[in-house]
Amino acid sequence: MAISHPFILHLILALAGLHKARVDTVDTDNTFSNPGANDSWLVNRAEHHSAKGLSELLSLLAHVSPNNIAAVWAGATILCFLPMARGPRPGDYLFFSIGTDHESMVQWPSLVKGVKTLSGMSGDIKPRGDKCGSSRVDQGGMASGINYRGLLQALRERILLHGKQRGELHARELSDCYINAIAMLERVLDETHGEKQDGEENNTGRLAMIIYDWICCFEPALDAFQNKDPVAMILLAYFLVLMKLHDGVWFARGWAEHIMGGIEECLGQDDRRWLQWPMKQIGMRKDAGSKFYAAEEE
């Protein structure tokens, strides 16, 4: 497939270059640095191949047919991984950005949404998650002494009350997105919580499907993240627990902590109380100035 469609090779080379750059900049505490901070030859070449592959992919999108839909889907899927592979950058939090200089960065959810569109164009392309391996689940949705089901139920009640008070069509649609997102969180947390996902062989596909399902929950209202809606930010914080459980996948490393820092910056003091459980789960602690920081490995 890649021989017939060279843009796939360009995108693979871009991903491989970013992988090598992050491995080469691994810190002594075994966490990945930001490859973008190092103006290396590898990063420059990766960006060259990314731009080349994207240009050719966009040209082919205007002529999608049964003969090339699989190649287009494969290229778009690789393209979705590149923003994560570049590593965390100031102002860029994948789902939202902070600062006027970063408004153009928030393209990643739309990329993932585009993969869904391409999947729907062919009945032969149906991404599947890794359904095997039931994980250890703490009693009754309990984790670290805190009932996350109770927290999510309290958040559900807040959403329903707020939706009834506002009553507008957009508010109801947004409430539906949030309720669907809570149901997804409960289901996947029950399946995976308490089991650190080690290695990458099976976890890359599982992480991709979790992200895919999450963004699909918000498909009618993806702008809620960039609008810094408090409920969307809180739900995203809980989703980061799932990302952290899968950070054995190299391109996911460091993103949960980085995004959580952006969420904490966006929320008011009253709403930050909802962050207690997800912050603890991803290994971040709260300092005296109310800002969170990543805890050192003990």
Of these ranges, 30-34, 111-115, 139-143, 148-152, the one predicted with the greatest mean pLDDT is 148-152
Tell me the residue type at 107. Answer: Q
What's the average model confidence in pLDDT over 93-102? 80
Segments in the chain forming alpha helices (H): 6-24, 41-61, 69-85, 108-120, 148-166, 169-192, 203-217, 223-226, 230-245, 255-266, 276-281
Average pLDDT for residues 57-76, to the nearest whole number? 89
Angstrom distance (rounded) from CA 264 to CA 290: 9
For residues 71-82, give the mean pLDDT.
92
Query: What does the pLDDT average to over 140-145?
Result: 41
Greater model confidence, 30 or 182? 182
pLDDT of residue 42: 87
* Every domain of the chain and the residues it spans: 6-120, 139-294
Tokens coding 288 = 């005296």
CA separation for the pair 112, 126 (Å, rounded) = 14
Tokens of 167: 């009553």
Q: Which amino acid is located at 284 in the chain?
A: M
User: What average pLDDT does range 211-221 have in this prediction?
Assistant: 88
Higher pLDDT, 37 or 130: 37
- For residues 33-53, average pLDDT: 78
Q: Map residue 189 onto helix, strand or coil.
A: helix
Q: Which residues contact 128 (CB under 8 A, 6 or more apart)?
A: 209
Average pLDDT over residues 185-190: 90
- Identify the residue with better confidence: 189 or 136: 189
Coil, strand, or helix at residue 132? coil
Bridge partners (DSSP) listed for residue 284: 294
Give me the mean pLDDT over the 208-231 stretch. Answer: 89
- The residues near 147 (Cβ < 8 Å, ≥ 6 apart) are 140, 141
pLDDT digits (tens, 9 = 90+) for 262-286: 999 999 999 999 999 999 999 986 6
Amino acid at 293: Y
- Beta carbons within 8 Å of 258's beta carbon, 6+ residues apart: 88, 93
Task: Specify the 3-state DSSP secondary structure of 107.
Answer: coil
What pLDDT is stored for residue 167 in this prediction?
Answer: 56
The pLDDT of residue 173 is 83
d(CA 90, CA 126): 35
**pLDDT band at residue 131, thresholds of 50, 70 and 90?**
very low
Q: Express as a percent the part of the chain with pLDDT over 90.
A: 43
Per-residue pLDDT at 206 exceeds 90:
no
User: How far from each other are the two terminal CA atoms of the chain, in whole angstroms?
Assistant: 46
More confident site: 193 or 212: 212
**Please, are residues 32 and 25 in contact by the beta-carbon 8 Å criterion?**
yes
Residue 203 — pLDDT band, cuts 50, 70, 90? confident
pLDDT of 123 = 56
Q: How many CB atoms within 10 Å of residue 3? A: 7
Count of beta carbons in the 10 Å neighbourhood of residue 98: 18
Question: pLDDT tens digit string along 254-265?
Answer: 999 999 999 999
Q: What tokens does 276 get?
A: 């207690």
